[in-house]
Structure 1
Protein backbone atom coordinates (compact mmCIF):
# COMPACT_ATOMS: atom_id res chain seq x y z
CA UNK A 1 0.00 0.00 0.00
CA UNK A 2 1.47 3.38 -0.93
CA UNK A 3 1.65 5.79 2.00
CA UNK A 4 1.30 9.49 1.21
CA UNK A 5 3.36 11.58 3.63
CA UNK A 6 3.39 15.35 4.19
CA UNK A 7 5.62 17.59 6.25
CA UNK A 8 4.49 21.17 6.79
CA UNK A 9 5.68 24.02 9.01
CA UNK A 10 2.38 25.86 9.53
CA UNK A 11 3.86 29.00 11.19
CA UNK A 12 1.11 28.99 13.81
CA UNK A 13 -1.48 29.18 11.03
CA UNK A 14 -0.28 32.66 10.02
CA UNK A 15 0.13 33.01 6.28
CA UNK A 16 2.29 35.05 3.95
CA UNK A 17 -0.46 37.68 4.01
CA UNK A 18 -0.23 37.85 7.86
CA UNK A 19 -3.74 36.42 8.15
CA UNK A 20 -4.45 33.69 10.70
CA UNK A 21 -6.56 31.02 9.02
CA UNK A 22 -6.26 27.39 10.11
CA UNK A 23 -8.83 26.35 7.53
CA UNK A 24 -6.28 27.16 4.81
CA UNK A 25 -3.94 24.67 6.47
CA UNK A 26 -6.78 22.15 6.46
CA UNK A 27 -7.28 22.77 2.74
CA UNK A 28 -3.59 22.17 1.94
CA UNK A 29 -3.45 18.93 3.92
CA UNK A 30 -6.77 17.64 2.59
CA UNK A 31 -5.89 18.41 -1.02
CA UNK A 32 -2.58 16.58 -0.63
CA UNK A 33 -4.37 13.32 0.13
CA UNK A 34 -1.86 12.66 2.91
CA UNK A 35 -2.21 9.60 5.10
CA UNK A 36 0.52 10.77 7.46
CA UNK A 37 1.30 14.40 8.30
CA UNK A 38 4.07 16.01 10.36
CA UNK A 39 3.40 19.61 11.40
CA UNK A 40 5.73 22.12 13.00
CA UNK A 41 5.11 25.43 14.84
CA UNK A 42 1.75 24.32 16.16
CA UNK A 43 0.27 26.37 19.02
CA UNK A 44 -2.00 25.15 21.80
CA UNK A 45 -3.79 27.80 23.91
CA UNK A 46 -0.65 29.92 23.65
CA UNK A 47 -0.70 33.30 21.94
CA UNK A 48 -3.35 35.94 21.51
CA UNK A 49 -1.98 36.29 17.98
CA UNK A 50 -3.12 32.72 17.26
CA UNK A 51 -6.39 33.04 19.18
CA UNK A 52 -5.34 30.84 22.14
CA UNK A 53 -6.71 27.98 20.04
CA UNK A 54 -5.71 24.34 20.42
CA UNK A 55 -4.45 24.27 16.85
CA UNK A 56 -3.39 20.62 16.94
CA UNK A 57 -6.79 19.47 18.16
CA UNK A 58 -8.64 21.70 15.72
CA UNK A 59 -6.69 20.43 12.72
CA UNK A 60 -7.07 16.79 13.77
CA UNK A 61 -10.84 17.17 14.16
CA UNK A 62 -11.30 18.99 10.85
CA UNK A 63 -9.23 16.42 9.00
CA UNK A 64 -10.63 13.38 10.81
CA UNK A 65 -7.14 12.19 11.71
CA UNK A 66 -5.55 10.75 14.83
CA UNK A 67 -3.22 13.11 16.70
CA UNK A 68 0.08 12.92 18.55
CA UNK A 69 1.52 16.18 19.93
CA UNK A 70 4.86 17.16 21.45
CA UNK A 71 5.27 20.48 23.27
CA UNK A 72 8.65 22.18 22.83
CA UNK A 73 7.43 25.05 25.01
CA UNK A 74 5.06 24.30 27.89
CA UNK A 75 4.11 27.36 29.94
CA UNK A 76 1.56 28.37 32.54
CA UNK A 77 -1.96 29.03 31.20
CA UNK A 78 -2.61 32.37 29.53
CA UNK A 79 -5.92 31.55 27.84
CA UNK A 80 -9.34 31.90 29.49
CA UNK A 81 -9.71 28.11 29.25
CA UNK A 82 -6.92 27.64 31.79
CA UNK A 83 -5.13 25.15 29.54
CA UNK A 84 -1.34 25.19 29.47
CA UNK A 85 0.23 27.35 26.78
CA UNK A 86 2.17 25.11 24.41
CA UNK A 87 4.09 25.26 21.14
CA UNK A 88 5.52 22.32 19.28
CA UNK A 89 5.09 19.61 16.69
CA UNK A 90 2.31 17.22 15.74
CA UNK A 91 1.74 13.99 13.87
CA UNK A 92 -1.61 13.33 12.20
CA UNK A 93 -2.55 9.98 10.70
CA UNK A 94 -5.48 8.36 8.93
CA UNK A 95 -4.28 4.84 9.72
CA UNK A 96 -3.76 4.96 13.46
CA UNK A 97 -0.80 5.86 15.65
CA UNK A 98 0.55 3.58 18.38
CA UNK A 99 3.48 3.75 20.79
CA UNK A 100 3.41 7.53 20.78
CA UNK A 101 6.16 9.33 22.66
CA UNK A 102 8.57 12.26 22.78
CA UNK A 103 12.36 12.25 23.09
CA UNK A 104 14.15 15.52 23.88
CA UNK A 105 17.12 16.58 21.76
CA UNK A 106 20.27 18.46 22.83
CA UNK A 107 19.51 22.07 23.71
CA UNK A 108 22.21 24.75 23.83
CA UNK A 109 22.04 27.75 26.18
CA UNK A 110 19.49 30.31 25.01
CA UNK A 111 17.71 27.93 22.64
CA UNK A 112 14.25 26.43 22.93
CA UNK A 113 13.94 22.77 23.74
CA UNK A 114 13.51 20.58 20.65
CA UNK A 115 12.43 16.98 20.44
CA UNK A 116 11.52 14.00 18.30
CA UNK A 117 7.87 12.99 18.29
CA UNK A 118 7.68 9.26 17.65
CA UNK A 119 4.86 6.86 16.77
CA UNK A 120 4.21 3.72 14.77
CA UNK A 121 1.81 2.99 11.91
CA UNK A 122 1.01 -0.26 10.10
CA UNK A 123 1.65 -0.43 6.34
CA UNK A 124 0.63 -3.69 4.66
CA UNK A 125 0.92 -5.41 8.02
CA UNK A 126 4.44 -4.07 8.58
CA UNK A 127 5.12 -1.70 11.51
CA UNK A 128 6.66 1.56 10.31
CA UNK A 129 8.41 3.92 12.70
CA UNK A 130 7.45 7.58 12.25
CA UNK A 131 9.57 10.43 13.61
CA UNK A 132 8.63 14.10 13.45
CA UNK A 133 10.99 16.90 14.42
CA UNK A 134 11.93 20.58 14.10
CA UNK A 135 15.60 21.42 14.54
CA UNK A 136 17.14 24.63 15.87
CA UNK A 137 16.87 27.49 13.39
CA UNK A 138 19.99 29.60 13.98
CA UNK A 139 22.93 27.31 14.83
CA UNK A 140 24.35 24.58 12.61
CA UNK A 141 26.43 23.15 15.47
CA UNK A 142 23.28 22.71 17.54
CA UNK A 143 21.41 21.20 14.60
CA UNK A 144 24.25 18.76 14.12
CA UNK A 145 24.13 17.72 17.76
CA UNK A 146 20.39 17.20 17.45
CA UNK A 147 20.82 15.17 14.27
CA UNK A 148 23.44 13.03 16.00
CA UNK A 149 20.92 12.26 18.74
CA UNK A 150 18.30 11.31 16.15
CA UNK A 151 20.75 9.04 14.32
CA UNK A 152 21.78 7.39 17.58
CA UNK A 153 18.17 6.29 18.07
CA UNK A 154 17.74 4.70 14.63
CA UNK A 155 17.60 0.96 14.03
CA UNK A 156 16.77 -1.40 11.17
CA UNK A 157 13.01 -0.88 11.27
CA UNK A 158 11.27 0.81 8.33
CA UNK A 159 11.46 4.49 9.30
CA UNK A 160 10.09 7.82 8.10
CA UNK A 161 11.69 10.97 9.52
CA UNK A 162 9.81 14.16 8.66
CA UNK A 163 10.21 17.78 9.60
CA UNK A 164 11.74 21.21 9.33
CA UNK A 165 15.49 20.67 9.70
CA UNK A 166 16.47 24.31 9.13
CA UNK A 167 19.50 23.17 7.13
CA UNK A 168 20.31 22.93 3.44
CA UNK A 169 21.68 20.07 1.33
CA UNK A 170 25.43 19.72 1.75
CA UNK A 171 25.48 21.04 5.31
CA UNK A 172 27.09 18.95 8.10
CA UNK A 173 23.62 18.11 9.43
CA UNK A 174 22.37 17.00 6.02
CA UNK A 175 25.50 14.96 5.33
CA UNK A 176 25.17 13.14 8.66
CA UNK A 177 21.53 12.24 8.11
CA UNK A 178 22.27 11.17 4.53
CA UNK A 179 24.74 8.55 5.78
CA UNK A 180 21.89 6.78 7.59
CA UNK A 181 18.72 7.61 5.67
CA UNK A 182 17.60 8.44 2.13
CA UNK A 183 16.62 12.01 1.30
CA UNK A 184 13.33 11.47 -0.57
CA UNK A 185 13.53 14.68 -2.60
CA UNK A 186 17.10 13.98 -3.69
CA UNK A 187 15.93 10.59 -4.93
CA UNK A 188 12.75 11.38 -6.84
CA UNK A 189 12.14 15.13 -6.70
CA UNK A 190 12.60 17.46 -9.66
CA UNK A 191 14.32 20.83 -9.36
CA UNK A 192 15.71 22.61 -6.31
CA UNK A 193 12.77 21.71 -4.05
CA UNK A 194 12.82 24.95 -2.06
CA UNK A 195 10.34 24.87 0.81
CA UNK A 196 11.15 28.26 2.37
CA UNK A 197 10.88 31.28 0.12
CA UNK A 198 9.64 33.90 2.60
CA UNK A 199 13.19 35.30 2.80
CA UNK A 200 15.74 35.24 -0.04
CA UNK A 201 17.40 33.10 -1.17
CA UNK A 202 14.89 30.24 -1.54
CA UNK A 203 16.02 27.27 0.58
CA UNK A 204 15.28 23.56 0.86
CA UNK A 205 15.07 23.04 4.62
CA UNK A 206 12.07 20.70 5.01
CA UNK A 207 12.70 17.00 4.43
CA UNK A 208 11.24 13.52 4.43
CA UNK A 209 13.93 10.90 5.11
CA UNK A 210 13.43 7.14 4.61
CA UNK A 211 15.13 4.05 5.97
CA UNK A 212 14.70 0.36 6.59
CA UNK A 213 13.60 -0.59 3.10
CA UNK A 214 11.13 2.25 2.47
CA UNK A 215 11.33 3.84 -0.97
CA UNK A 216 10.05 7.18 -2.29
CA UNK A 217 7.94 6.95 -5.45
CA UNK A 218 7.07 10.60 -6.00
CA UNK A 219 7.85 13.93 -4.34
CA UNK A 220 6.37 17.37 -4.86
CA UNK A 221 6.31 20.80 -3.26
CA UNK A 222 2.88 22.25 -2.46
CA UNK A 223 2.89 26.05 -2.45
CA UNK A 224 0.30 28.07 -0.54
CA UNK A 225 -0.04 31.46 1.14
CA UNK A 226 -1.32 29.63 4.23
CA UNK A 227 2.16 29.56 5.84
CA UNK A 228 5.65 30.93 5.30
CA UNK A 229 6.75 27.40 4.33
CA UNK A 230 5.61 25.19 1.49
CA UNK A 231 4.51 21.65 2.23
CA UNK A 232 6.52 18.64 1.04
CA UNK A 233 4.51 15.62 -0.16
CA UNK A 234 6.15 12.22 -0.73
CA UNK A 235 4.52 8.93 -1.68
CA UNK A 236 6.28 6.03 0.04
CA UNK A 237 6.21 2.26 -0.45
CA UNK A 238 7.88 -0.68 1.21
CA UNK A 239 10.70 -1.94 -0.99
CA UNK A 240 10.00 -5.12 -2.92
CA UNK A 241 12.37 -8.03 -2.68
Structure 2
Protein backbone atom coordinates (compact mmCIF):
# COMPACT_ATOMS: atom_id res chain seq x y z
CA UNK A 1 0.00 0.00 0.00
CA UNK A 2 2.78 2.43 0.95
CA UNK A 3 4.66 1.58 -2.26
CA UNK A 4 1.51 2.21 -4.29
CA UNK A 5 0.86 5.61 -2.70
CA UNK A 6 4.39 6.85 -3.13
CA UNK A 7 4.50 5.44 -6.65
CA UNK A 8 1.58 7.71 -7.50
CA UNK A 9 3.32 10.65 -5.88
CA UNK A 10 6.54 10.16 -7.83
CA UNK A 11 4.61 9.63 -11.05
CA UNK A 12 3.01 13.03 -10.64
CA UNK A 13 6.38 14.57 -9.82
CA UNK A 14 7.91 12.88 -12.91
CA UNK A 15 10.91 11.81 -10.88
CA UNK A 16 13.02 8.72 -11.34
CA UNK A 17 12.05 7.44 -7.91
CA UNK A 18 8.81 6.30 -9.55
CA UNK A 19 10.79 3.63 -11.39
CA UNK A 20 11.84 2.10 -8.07
CA UNK A 21 8.25 2.03 -6.84
CA UNK A 22 7.12 0.52 -10.13
CA UNK A 23 9.86 -2.11 -9.94
CA UNK A 24 8.78 -3.10 -6.43
CA UNK A 25 5.18 -3.39 -7.61
CA UNK A 26 6.25 -5.66 -10.47
CA UNK A 27 8.14 -7.89 -8.03
CA UNK A 28 5.10 -7.97 -5.78
CA UNK A 29 2.93 -8.97 -8.73
CA UNK A 30 5.24 -11.80 -9.73
CA UNK A 31 6.25 -13.20 -6.35
CA UNK A 32 3.59 -12.39 -3.79
CA UNK A 33 0.00 -12.16 -4.98
CA UNK A 34 -1.85 -11.43 -8.23
CA UNK A 35 -3.82 -8.25 -8.63
CA UNK A 36 -5.61 -9.65 -11.66
CA UNK A 37 -7.55 -12.89 -11.62
CA UNK A 38 -8.32 -14.70 -14.85
CA UNK A 39 -11.60 -16.60 -14.96
CA UNK A 40 -11.44 -19.38 -12.39
CA UNK A 41 -12.85 -22.84 -13.09
CA UNK A 42 -16.46 -22.84 -11.97
CA UNK A 43 -17.07 -24.74 -8.74
CA UNK A 44 -19.84 -27.18 -9.62
CA UNK A 45 -19.56 -29.36 -6.53
CA UNK A 46 -22.72 -30.27 -4.68
CA UNK A 47 -22.86 -29.00 -1.09
CA UNK A 48 -25.23 -29.77 1.76
CA UNK A 49 -25.23 -26.11 2.78
CA UNK A 50 -24.55 -22.81 1.03
CA UNK A 51 -24.36 -19.29 2.40
CA UNK A 52 -23.97 -16.09 0.37
CA UNK A 53 -22.26 -13.19 2.12
CA UNK A 54 -22.07 -9.57 0.97
CA UNK A 55 -19.61 -7.01 2.31
CA UNK A 56 -20.33 -3.32 1.72
CA UNK A 57 -18.76 -0.16 3.11
CA UNK A 58 -21.69 2.23 2.68
CA UNK A 59 -19.85 5.44 3.70
CA UNK A 60 -22.55 6.42 6.21
CA UNK A 61 -25.12 6.05 3.42
CA UNK A 62 -23.75 9.34 1.99
CA UNK A 63 -25.35 11.22 4.89
CA UNK A 64 -22.83 14.07 4.66
CA UNK A 65 -22.63 14.33 0.87
CA UNK A 66 -23.73 17.78 -0.26
CA UNK A 67 -26.66 17.98 -2.65
CA UNK A 68 -28.00 14.53 -1.84
CA UNK A 69 -31.34 13.52 -0.41
CA UNK A 70 -31.10 11.17 2.56
CA UNK A 71 -34.34 9.34 1.83
CA UNK A 72 -33.30 8.78 -1.77
CA UNK A 73 -29.86 7.62 -0.61
CA UNK A 74 -31.37 5.03 1.72
CA UNK A 75 -33.73 3.84 -1.01
CA UNK A 76 -30.85 3.33 -3.46
CA UNK A 77 -28.71 1.50 -0.94
CA UNK A 78 -31.47 -0.77 0.33
CA UNK A 79 -32.63 -1.65 -3.19
CA UNK A 80 -29.10 -2.54 -4.29
CA UNK A 81 -28.55 -4.66 -1.19
CA UNK A 82 -31.88 -6.49 -1.46
CA UNK A 83 -31.38 -7.09 -5.20
CA UNK A 84 -28.08 -8.81 -4.43
CA UNK A 85 -30.12 -11.57 -2.75
CA UNK A 86 -27.26 -12.29 -0.34
CA UNK A 87 -28.13 -14.35 2.73
CA UNK A 88 -26.04 -12.18 5.04
CA UNK A 89 -25.01 -8.53 4.66
CA UNK A 90 -21.92 -7.16 6.43
CA UNK A 91 -22.05 -3.37 6.48
CA UNK A 92 -19.17 -1.08 7.43
CA UNK A 93 -19.64 2.62 8.27
CA UNK A 94 -23.29 2.14 9.17
CA UNK A 95 -25.04 5.39 10.19
CA UNK A 96 -27.01 5.36 13.44
CA UNK A 97 -29.52 8.09 12.54
CA UNK A 98 -31.02 6.22 9.59
CA UNK A 99 -32.06 2.98 11.36
CA UNK A 100 -32.17 1.11 8.04
CA UNK A 101 -34.70 -1.69 7.61
CA UNK A 102 -34.06 -4.43 5.06
CA UNK A 103 -37.17 -6.49 4.26
CA UNK A 104 -36.40 -10.20 4.27
CA UNK A 105 -33.59 -9.85 6.81
CA UNK A 106 -35.22 -10.40 10.22
CA UNK A 107 -31.98 -11.05 12.12
CA UNK A 108 -29.91 -7.94 12.78
CA UNK A 109 -26.87 -7.10 14.86
CA UNK A 110 -25.65 -3.49 15.04
CA UNK A 111 -22.82 -2.24 17.21
CA UNK A 112 -21.51 1.25 18.00
CA UNK A 113 -18.38 2.00 19.99
CA UNK A 114 -20.20 4.39 22.29
CA UNK A 115 -23.80 5.32 23.03
CA UNK A 116 -23.64 8.62 21.15
CA UNK A 117 -21.29 7.47 18.40
CA UNK A 118 -22.82 7.93 14.94
CA UNK A 119 -20.81 5.35 13.00
CA UNK A 120 -21.01 1.62 13.58
CA UNK A 121 -21.14 -1.74 11.88
CA UNK A 122 -24.08 -3.95 11.09
CA UNK A 123 -24.93 -7.50 10.09
CA UNK A 124 -28.29 -8.32 8.49
CA UNK A 125 -29.21 -11.95 7.98
CA UNK A 126 -31.91 -14.24 6.62
CA UNK A 127 -30.65 -16.89 9.05
CA UNK A 128 -30.60 -16.77 12.87
CA UNK A 129 -27.61 -15.08 14.51
CA UNK A 130 -26.33 -16.34 17.87
CA UNK A 131 -23.29 -15.73 20.09
CA UNK A 132 -23.09 -12.12 18.91
CA UNK A 133 -20.27 -9.87 20.02
CA UNK A 134 -17.79 -7.15 19.11
CA UNK A 135 -14.35 -5.94 20.05
CA UNK A 136 -13.35 -2.31 19.67
CA UNK A 137 -9.82 -1.42 18.67
CA UNK A 138 -7.96 0.95 20.98
CA UNK A 139 -7.01 4.36 19.65
CA UNK A 140 -9.21 4.18 16.54
CA UNK A 141 -12.86 4.38 15.52
CA UNK A 142 -12.77 0.84 14.15
CA UNK A 143 -14.02 -2.49 15.43
CA UNK A 144 -14.95 -6.00 14.40
CA UNK A 145 -18.28 -7.78 14.86
CA UNK A 146 -18.64 -11.52 15.13
CA UNK A 147 -21.71 -13.74 15.03
CA UNK A 148 -22.52 -17.40 14.59
CA UNK A 149 -24.88 -17.93 11.65
CA UNK A 150 -27.16 -20.96 11.99
CA UNK A 151 -27.83 -22.47 8.56
CA UNK A 152 -30.19 -25.44 8.51
CA UNK A 153 -28.95 -26.69 11.85
CA UNK A 154 -25.29 -26.08 11.04
CA UNK A 155 -23.20 -23.15 12.28
CA UNK A 156 -20.61 -20.84 10.72
CA UNK A 157 -18.73 -18.05 12.51
CA UNK A 158 -18.75 -14.72 10.63
CA UNK A 159 -16.49 -11.70 11.25
CA UNK A 160 -17.37 -8.24 9.93
CA UNK A 161 -14.06 -6.34 9.77
CA UNK A 162 -13.33 -2.65 9.42
CA UNK A 163 -9.63 -1.96 9.83
CA UNK A 164 -7.95 1.39 10.48
CA UNK A 165 -8.00 3.70 7.45
CA UNK A 166 -4.96 5.51 6.05
CA UNK A 167 -6.52 8.88 6.96
CA UNK A 168 -5.56 10.48 3.67
CA UNK A 169 -7.66 11.91 0.87
CA UNK A 170 -7.91 9.42 -2.01
CA UNK A 171 -6.33 11.62 -4.67
CA UNK A 172 -2.93 12.09 -6.25
CA UNK A 173 -3.12 15.85 -5.69
CA UNK A 174 -3.52 15.35 -1.95
CA UNK A 175 -0.32 13.28 -1.90
CA UNK A 176 1.49 15.88 -3.97
CA UNK A 177 0.45 18.73 -1.68
CA UNK A 178 0.79 16.91 1.64
CA UNK A 179 3.54 17.54 4.15
CA UNK A 180 5.77 14.53 3.51
CA UNK A 181 6.90 14.04 7.11
CA UNK A 182 3.31 14.22 8.33
CA UNK A 183 2.19 11.83 5.58
CA UNK A 184 4.83 9.28 6.55
CA UNK A 185 3.87 9.55 10.20
CA UNK A 186 0.18 9.13 9.40
CA UNK A 187 0.78 6.09 7.19
CA UNK A 188 3.14 4.54 9.71
CA UNK A 189 0.57 4.94 12.45
CA UNK A 190 -2.13 3.39 10.27
CA UNK A 191 0.04 0.37 9.42
CA UNK A 192 0.90 -0.16 13.09
CA UNK A 193 -2.75 0.03 14.15
CA UNK A 194 -3.80 -2.32 11.38
CA UNK A 195 -1.23 -4.91 12.45
CA UNK A 196 -2.46 -4.74 16.05
CA UNK A 197 -6.06 -5.12 14.89
CA UNK A 198 -5.27 -8.09 12.67
CA UNK A 199 -3.44 -9.90 15.47
CA UNK A 200 -6.52 -9.45 17.69
CA UNK A 201 -8.83 -10.81 14.98
CA UNK A 202 -6.63 -13.83 14.26
CA UNK A 203 -6.27 -14.66 17.96
CA UNK A 204 -10.05 -14.49 18.37
CA UNK A 205 -10.84 -16.59 15.30
CA UNK A 206 -8.39 -19.30 16.36
CA UNK A 207 -10.68 -19.94 19.34
CA UNK A 208 -13.79 -20.27 17.15
CA UNK A 209 -15.60 -23.59 17.49
CA UNK A 210 -16.84 -23.46 13.90
CA UNK A 211 -15.39 -22.74 10.43
CA UNK A 212 -15.22 -18.98 9.95
CA UNK A 213 -15.55 -16.25 7.36
CA UNK A 214 -13.77 -12.87 7.29
CA UNK A 215 -15.69 -10.17 5.42
CA UNK A 216 -15.06 -6.46 5.34
CA UNK A 217 -13.00 -3.41 4.52
CA UNK A 218 -9.33 -4.15 5.24
CA UNK A 219 -8.25 -0.65 4.09
CA UNK A 220 -5.19 -2.18 2.46
CA UNK A 221 -4.15 -4.02 -0.67
CA UNK A 222 -3.33 -7.64 -1.41
CA UNK A 223 0.37 -6.73 -1.16
CA UNK A 224 0.07 -5.73 2.49
CA UNK A 225 1.14 -7.44 5.69
CA UNK A 226 -2.40 -7.42 7.08
CA UNK A 227 -3.78 -9.14 3.99
CA UNK A 228 -1.11 -11.83 4.06
CA UNK A 229 -1.65 -12.50 7.77
CA UNK A 230 -5.42 -12.78 7.43
CA UNK A 231 -5.06 -15.01 4.40
CA UNK A 232 -2.67 -17.47 6.07
CA UNK A 233 -4.39 -20.85 5.98
CA UNK A 234 -7.52 -19.25 4.51
CA UNK A 235 -8.97 -18.72 1.03
CA UNK A 236 -9.47 -15.35 -0.65
CA UNK A 237 -12.89 -15.68 -2.30
CA UNK A 238 -11.90 -13.40 -5.18
CA UNK A 239 -8.86 -15.51 -6.03
CA UNK A 240 -10.96 -18.66 -5.79
CA UNK A 241 -13.89 -17.66 -8.01
CA UNK A 242 -13.48 -14.03 -9.08
CA UNK A 243 -12.16 -12.55 -12.31
CA UNK A 244 -10.60 -9.35 -13.56
CA UNK A 245 -9.18 -6.74 -11.20
CA UNK A 246 -11.91 -7.11 -8.60
CA UNK A 247 -11.80 -3.36 -7.97
CA UNK A 248 -13.60 -2.31 -4.79
CA UNK A 249 -12.19 1.22 -4.39
CA UNK A 250 -10.58 3.86 -6.59
CA UNK A 251 -7.67 6.09 -5.65
CA UNK A 252 -8.54 8.79 -8.19
CA UNK A 253 -8.80 6.61 -11.31
CA UNK A 254 -6.46 3.90 -10.02
CA UNK A 255 -8.30 0.63 -9.27
CA UNK A 256 -7.68 -0.97 -5.88
CA UNK A 257 -8.95 -4.06 -4.11
CA UNK A 258 -9.22 -3.36 -0.38
CA UNK A 259 -12.47 -5.18 0.50
CA UNK A 260 -12.32 -8.94 0.93
CA UNK A 261 -14.15 -12.11 1.86
CA UNK A 262 -12.05 -15.01 3.14
CA UNK A 263 -12.96 -18.50 4.31
CA UNK A 264 -11.26 -20.89 6.69
CA UNK A 265 -10.55 -24.57 6.22
CA UNK A 266 -13.72 -26.59 5.72
CA UNK A 267 -15.46 -23.91 3.66
CA UNK A 268 -15.30 -23.72 -0.14
CA UNK A 269 -15.95 -20.72 -2.37
CA UNK A 270 -18.67 -21.53 -4.89
CA UNK A 271 -19.07 -18.13 -6.53
CA UNK A 272 -17.82 -14.55 -6.25
CA UNK A 273 -19.11 -11.24 -7.58
CA UNK A 274 -17.92 -7.64 -7.49
CA UNK A 275 -20.81 -5.25 -8.14
CA UNK A 276 -20.13 -2.45 -10.61
CA UNK A 277 -22.97 -0.25 -9.42
CA UNK A 278 -22.25 1.50 -6.17
CA UNK A 279 -23.62 4.46 -4.24
CA UNK A 280 -20.58 4.59 -1.99
CA UNK A 281 -16.86 5.06 -2.58
CA UNK A 282 -16.60 1.27 -2.22
CA UNK A 283 -18.01 -1.44 -4.46
CA UNK A 284 -19.92 -4.21 -2.68
CA UNK A 285 -18.72 -7.79 -3.05
CA UNK A 286 -20.51 -11.10 -2.58
CA UNK A 287 -19.27 -14.65 -2.13
CA UNK A 288 -21.27 -17.86 -2.07
CA UNK A 289 -19.74 -20.38 0.29
CA UNK A 290 -20.44 -24.11 0.46
CA UNK A 291 -19.71 -26.91 2.88
Please give the range of the TM-score, normalised by the shorter of the 2 chains: 0.7 to 0.9
2:105–2:124 contact (8 Å) kept in structure 1: no
More helix, by proportion: 2
1:30-85 residue CA offsets vs partner (Å, 9 max, x unmatched): 1111001100111113xxxxxxx22xxx234x44431101113542xxxxxxxxx4
Structure-1 residue corresponding to 2:82: 30
- Return the alpha-carbon distance in structure 1 between the equivalents of residues 163 and 115 of structure 2: 17
C-alpha RMSD of the superposition: 2.0
Distance 1:136 1:74, change over 3 A: farther
Compute the displacement of 1:24 (Å). Answer: 0.9
How far off its partner does 1:97 sit? 0.8
Q: How does 1:31-110 map to 2 (within 5 A)?
A: 31-45=83-97, 53-54=98-99, 58-60=100-102, 62-72=103-113, 74-75=115-116, 85-105=117-137, 107-108=138-139
Q: Paired residue for 2:198?
A: 147
Change in CA separation of 1:11 and 1:86 when aligned onto 2, cut-off 3 Å: same
Contact 2:233–2:265, Cα closer than 8 Å, also in 1 = no
Partners of 2:214 and 2:286 in 1: CA distance: 13
Measured after TM superposition, the shift of residue 199 of structure 1 is: 3.0
Secondary structure (helix, strand or coil) at the match of 1:129 reads strand
Question: Structure 1's 141 and 18: CA in aligned 2 closer, same or farther, altered over 3 A?
Answer: farther
**Cα-to-partner distance string for 1:77-126 (whole Å, 9 max, x where unaligned):** xxxxxxxx431110010011111111223x34xx32x2211111123422
Equivalent residues of 1:140, 1:167 under 8 A apart = no
Cα separation, partners in 2 of 1:233 and 1:122, compared to 1, 3 Å? same
SS at match of 1:169: coil
Post-superposition CA distance 1:181-214 (Å, at most 9, x none) = 2111111110111101263321101111111311
Change (3 A) 1:140 1:59: farther
Structure 2 residue runs of 5 or longer lacking an equivalent are: 1-48, 167-189
Q: What CA distance in whole angstroms lies between the structure 2 residues aligned with 1:226 and 1:184?
A: 23
- The structure with more strand, counted as a fraction of residues: 1
Q: 1-side partners of 2:74 and 2:251: how far apart?
A: 19
2:205 and 2:233 map into 1 onto residues whose CA distance is: 8
Cα 1:162–1:126 shift into 2, 3 Å: same
Counterpart selection for 2:62 from 5, 9, 14: 14
Contact 2:50 2:288 in 1 (8 A): yes
Q: 1:133 to 1:73 in 2, by over 3 A?
A: farther
- Aligned counterparts of 2:251 and 2:78: Cα–Cα separation in 1: 21
